Amino acid sequence: MVSEYLKVTEDVNEMIEIAKLLIIDINKIFPLYTPLMMDKMREDVLNHLGDEKKTEDEIDNIVLRCIYDFWVYGCTVDEDFYLNLFDKTDAEKREYMLRQERHLYIQHLNWDAGPDRVEQLEDKYRLYKRLKPYYKRDVIEVRSANDLEQFANFVKKHKEFVVKPADFTFGIGVHKASMGEFDNNEQKALHAILQEGLAIKQRHPSRVTRMVLEELIIQDEALASLHKSSVNGIRVTAVRGKDGLIHIYHPWIKVGINGTFVASAALDGFDAEIDAETGIVISDGYQENGKSYKVHPDSGIQIKGFQIPKWDELIEFVHELMEELSSFGCIAWDLVLTSKGWCVMEGNYSGDFCFQFINNRGYKKDFEELIGWKYDKNYWWQSSERYSKL
């Protein structure tokens, strides 16, 4: 089916026609491109276009190009935009480590962790229980009204706290809450938080309804000086290379702006790359919408050249974490410096390669050289349990 006509082309009209065939044939096997999915993709495209004016036909064609790029290169709508893939040749696109193919490389590195390797990291409370000493704060999980006593004990200690969906990523659904919002009524507060989980499940059926509550992280003043309202964490991707050693692979700092709580370049914040040897920031701050900052717009601090404090301690901390999870070959850690030292914000199974949009180039060959392995099929989906039959 798909393999009979899917091909690499740089003719935009041909891409669009191939995408139309993909929609028809794939929907015969399983209903992937439902009206709801098409509306969601269109919404994502419109969000990226912002104030840029496009006709309805032009918008439809952009969606179709995204569908073509997904099946040929494995990228998301977001990656098509923030990596400027629409303007790149086939050869240039293949230099990037894109979402679906990146999953194959991470799967290769983490295979020995077992069939539940994703859940071991993406289930926030499960990872907390395994690495509790490294979190250095209180964390609980709530599933139902039966957790009222546990919740009450937690909020007696922590009137303000962080709420997170138990298995979501990209900072989605993460926010700071206060008992004052609920008139200090524990039953009312728990009910509202559980309703958030149900709403997430309705919008994303593959997700769970469980919610995780965390004691607020009080970050070190040096990092807080960049932007006090957000927790300015360090993303450290730890990779076991072909030499058997742990490598800190293109770390970056995530910083909020304009008083936002969540620091994410996909939301209201920016990323800036850090030199893995010295802990010095070596880039300006970049957002996925293309904006960049030489100085923080709120604090006025110059971003490039900023020294992350206690960097040697961070490196040692990461090595300890990878020893605790020795069956994993790659984990993307979010770490925060506090008065108690470095702590884990969370661990991510796949993470991201945000340094690709920071530096406007792909790093696939670089990564392959580090790990000593290369994916050798024509298309990513040929090794996918769900899509390989296509």
pLDDT beneath 50, residues of the chain: none
At residue 208, the pLDDT reads 81
Rounded to 5 degrees, what are φ and ψ at 338?
A: -125, 180
The answer to whether residues 244 and 112 belong to one domain is: yes
Q: Are residues 246 and 331 located together in one domain of the fold?
A: yes
Q: How many CA within 13 A on the CB side of residue 170?
A: 6
Kindly state whether residues 226 and 364 are assigned to the same domain: yes
Domain span holding position 86: 2-90
pLDDT of residue 2: 81
Judgement on whether residues 270 and 367 belong to the same structural domain of the protein: yes
Q: Are residues 361 and 236 in the same domain?
A: yes
Pick the closest to residue 259 from 267, 251, 250 (CA basis). Answer: 267
Task: Return the H-helix or E-strand segment holding 161.
Answer: strand 160-165
One domain for residues 176 and 288: no
The C-alpha atoms of residue 80 and residue 46 are separated, in whole angstroms, by 13
pLDDT at 200: 80
pLDDT for res 337? 96
Q: What is the pLDDT of residues 73-132, one digit of tens each?
A: 999 999 999 999 999 999 999 999 999 999 999 999 999 999 999 999 999 999 999 999
Contact 139, 164 (CB under 8 A): no
Query: Residue 266: what pLDDT?
Result: 63
Q: Are strands 139-142 and 292-293 parallel, antiparallel or unpaired?
A: unpaired
The pLDDT of residue 170 is 63
Instruction: Give the strands of the sheet with 139-142, arranged side by side.
Output: 139-142, 211-215, 160-165, 175-178
Say yes or no: 201 and 226 in one domain: no
Q: What is the pLDDT of residue 358?
A: 94
Q: Model pTM?
A: 0.92
Q: Is 88 helix (H, G, I), strand (E, B) or coil?
A: coil
Residues 255 and 188 in one domain: no
At residue 92, the pLDDT reads: 97
Structural domain tally of the chain? Answer: 3
Q: Are residues 258 and 113 in the same domain?
A: yes
Whether residue 128 is contained in a domain is answered as no
